[in-house]
Amino acid sequence: MLRWHRPLLLFTAAMAALSLVFLVLVFVDGRTLDGLPIWIKPLKFTISFTLYAFTWAWLLSLRHRAGRVSWWAGTTLVVAGLGEVALIAFQAARGRHSHFNEATPLDRSIWIAMGVTIGLLMLANLVAAAFLISGRQTDRVSTWTVRLGLVVSTLGLASGGLMVTGVPGQTWAEDFAGAHSVGVADGGPGLPVVGWSTIGGDLRVPHFVGMHALQLLPLFALLLAALSARFAVLRREEVRLRLVVVAGLAYGGLFLLILWQALRGQPLIRPDAATLAVLGVLVVTALGAAALALRPKREAAP
């Protein structure tokens, strides 16, 4: 087993410390942008990177091939993450938008630099994920937890690219090269803190939900292992494996549903009948599959 990735651990600590700094600035600096405190965006990114970096530091300690290549992939994640946070914080200090902003030559240069950091992060993520998905962990539950979490989270990360492709229904503001919202312009009414649109679709929602499969699915596997001390049925590896697969597929289905909802210009908190119907089918299917996974194995007839 490899050691934990030291640069990623240091990056985790740095992002956690910066989160506290930006939290203080949220209350100290009264400036706003699009109706939210100017330092909310840097705060959201440092919290997200804290979770992301710690998870990758753990993942790269797991059994996999090409440890040297994956070490460099992890280090690239650190460099790209530092660059992106630095640029976001710089723009926040100036009271300017960071993503998509091409209003001035400096804003455009910063957005181009952010495009480079985002591209490096996605490439490093794909390389490291490929090695981990192809490997086997100490047991089947861990193996499939890692595989499913990486697949869904990579899809969630990649979905952020839709913000700059000009999907149907998007309206890009003048001097902007992308948008979060679908069906409405960016900057309208949004949910507290996160700012997700309450009047139109918002591509940040599936981006967020998909990426955090990387934390939630391993936590689910750990919960099953903890509950196995109390519930005998969970002591069987095959039962926990089936439940992890059900959870991973259900989470992937939820990500796709939320992405579909956003692409139709529909706010997360105002689902229409079609969205609710698909959600209902997804929930019933997942619960039914989980019930089947928990059924005791029949003994073979003598």
Q: What is the pLDDT of residues 87-99, one digit of tens each?
A: 999 999 999 999 9
Estimate the share of the chain in helix, then strand, then coil, as percent rounded to the nearest 5. Answer: 65, 5, 30
Tell me, what's the pLDDT at 107? 95
Tell me, what's the pLDDT at 188? 86
Task: Flag the least confident range among 2-6, 74-78, 83-87.
Answer: 2-6
With a CB cutoff of 8 Å and minimum separation 6, the contacts of 179 are 100, 163, 170, 171, 172, 173, 185, 186
pLDDT 10s digits, 34-53: 888 999 999 999 999 999 99
Q: Is the pLDDT reported for residue 79 higher than 90?
A: yes
With a CB cutoff of 8 Å and minimum separation 6, the contacts of 216 are 149, 251
Tell me, what's the pLDDT at 70? 82
Q: Give the C-alpha distances (Å, rounded to integers) separating 93 from 50, 70, 82, 113, 227.
A: 21, 35, 16, 17, 47
- Dist. CA 124–CA 166, nearest whole Å: 25
pTM summary value: 0.89
Structure tokens at 111: 């957005």
* DSSP state letters, 27-57: HH---EETTEETTHHHHHHHHHHHHHHHHHH
> Per-residue confidence at 132, pLDDT binned at 50, 70, 90?
confident
Tell me, what's the pLDDT at 298? 58
- Dist. CA 95–CA 154, nearest whole Å: 31
Average pLDDT of every residue of the chain: 91
- Dist. CA 159–CA 268, nearest whole Å: 16
- Calculate Rg over the CA atoms of the chain: 21
Tell me, what's the pLDDT at 139? 86
Q: Which residue do the tokens 């952020």 mark?
A: 160
- Dist. CA 47–CA 28, nearest whole Å: 19
> Per-residue confidence at 66, pLDDT binned at 50, 70, 90?
low
Q: Is the pLDDT reported for residue 299 higher than 60?
A: no
Do the beta carbons of residue 173 and residue 186 sit within 8 Å?
A: yes
Q: What is the dihedral of CA 257, 209, 192, 177, to 10 degrees?
A: -90
